Amino acid sequence: MLAHIAGCLPRESARVLWESASRKEGLSPDALRRIQWTTVAARECALSVTGLSDSGLETIFVTRLSRWGLRMRQQVVLAGRPVDVLIGDRLVVQVDGFEYHSKPADRRRDLEHDAELMLRGYVVLRFSYAQVLHDWPAVERTIARALAAGAHHAA
């Protein structure tokens, strides 16, 4: 099925499904890479799987931003909780899909964590589902401005 997905869907969509399969079905990224895939598309998907994305939205974000060649790490635990993406040493990016951000308690938890991160010297950018999927150029501009300001470097 994964080989079929890799061959039939655009790269970004295929990567979302491969990441989901890895995370939800417990398929090790290393095991996926050891399979002798018969197509270039499947081999590329296998090489890109990390098993770290909590959501398809997070995979889309990382896939799109990976073209920039930045040092990005996913699910780094900071201030006791994982963050979606850490760029460089200090730029935290959180992408808010509906599943984990639909209740007032979720919002409060996020704001409390953001405040703690900022007090520890991190810069936190938070983007919604709609921004990532429907206004990607604005997301890119915001990240570019943060990078230009050196927000990703330790003080």
Q: Are the C-beta atoms of 66 and 11 separated by less than 8 Å?
A: no
Segment 7-16 mean pLDDT: 95
Would you say residue 146 has pLDDT above 70? yes
Confidence bin at 115 (pLDDT 50/70/90):
very high
Q: How far is CA 60 from CA 55, 69, 81, 121, in A?
A: 9, 15, 21, 27
Mean pLDDT taken over the chain: 94
The alpha helices in 35-103, defined as continuous H runs, are: 40-48, 56-66
Percentage, residues of the chain above pLDDT 90? 89
Domains of the chain are 2-48 (no CATH), 56-148 (3.40.960.10)
Would you say residue 98 has pLDDT above 70? no
Which amino acid is it at 102? S
Model-wide pTM > 0.95: no
Beta strands in 88-130, from DSSP E residues, in sequence order: 91-96, 123-128
